Amino acid sequence: MREVAVIGVGMTKFGELWGKSMRDIFVEAALKSIQNAGVDRIDSMYVGSMSSGLFVGQEHLGAVMADYLGMNPIPATRVESACASGGVAFRSAYFEVASGNSDIVLAGGVEKMTDGADVTDALATAADQEYEVYQGVTFPGLYAMIANAHMHQYKTKREQIAAVAVKNHKNGANNPNAQFRGEITLDQVLNSTLVADPLRLLDCSPVSDGGAAVILCSMDIAKKFKGTPIRIKATAQASDTIALHSRKSLTSLAAVSVAAAKAYKSAGITPKDINFAEVHDCFTIAEIVVSEDLGFFEKGKGGPAVEKGFTSLGGKIPINTSGGLKSKGHPVGATGIAQIIEVYEQLTGQAGKRQVKNAKIGLAQNMGGSGASCVINILEAL
């Protein structure tokens, strides 16, 4: 297996992009990544997208995007793993380069969620249709169950969960591509509209449009291009029962802990070696649970860690310096790639006011549904 580098990144602003089609959004991000890397060709392409057929009625995305990007006849493949589609597209591109099959590959993600589809129904396809959706359960409801279980088992405070949103909006205020760039207060979170007890509106990531893309290439040619290379140190993936009721615990996400163990072993590091992380905070409680399952904190200590500032910029382990899904936005297929872009910008010193000091190793954790799939990518500065 060859070593693989990321040499270029590009993304659109996230938000309600009414004036752009899905293909417009993807091509904008892809062209930015190609220009940023300084490559004159790509050998292959992967497009992460969760529900393009439901959102905009368009399937066969690989061919559509290769055509509109002007890259035919390269192989182009759509990748789906619910909200982890972008991260798995990146992992797929990594293996194609590492195997020697291609030298330069584009990994992208895109979603157009605001064009009239029933978003709740579309997102619910990532849950168990027969045993969860049929009974009326939505993802806010599922994550509310996780939150209630965590609060009961570990005495996690409601204010600690809300503090995740406050922190991430503070980071997102300094991200020019974020959907919501305004800071919020703890009181605003706690007094926002109730969605699924105990989660409120400001505990939930938004409905978003957006695209993101990165260029991967073999390490032996990485320095021939103008983009600053960083090393892909490890990638790992795991899955769990799709239905929440089939799991042994509601306060831990097994797919996250299993994928994390594999990634750390592959990279030859421990959680203590990670300088910062982008994690899948689709709901505020998710960040707390994931931070524990990644090994950053003991079980039950994730809430107090946020409260004490350990996960803030400048803290022990900064989490979601981009603003996370909560502030940056969550166009589901693009989210995993956008996480990689934040890691890239941190490791190359391009994060501006969000910059983590002495950032050498970063982790991106992307998951689908209520944690039924999880992919973890670890990257390192050269």
Alpha carbon 335 to its chain's center: 4
CA distance 34 to 69: 11
CA distance 144 to 138: 10
Specify whether the CB–CB gap between 375 and 366 falls below 8 A: yes
206 within 8 A of 329, measured Cβ to Cβ? yes
Per the annotation, the verdict on 83 as an active-site residue is: yes
Residue count of the chain: 382
User: Which residue from 375, 377, 280 is spatially nearest to 88, judged by alpha carbons?
Assistant: 375
Q: Which of 83, 204, 217, 374 is catalytic?
A: 83
Contact status, residue 304 vs residue 148, Cβ threshold 8 Å: no
Residue among 204, 217, 330, 374 flagged as catalytic: 330
Question: In angstroms, rounded to a whole number, what is the distance separating the alpha carbons of residues 168 and 110?
Answer: 22
Burial 179-204 (b: 16+ CB within 10 A, else e): bbbeebeeebbbebeebbebbbebbb
Is residue 330 among the annotated active site residues? Answer: yes
Residues acting as catalytic residues: 83, 330
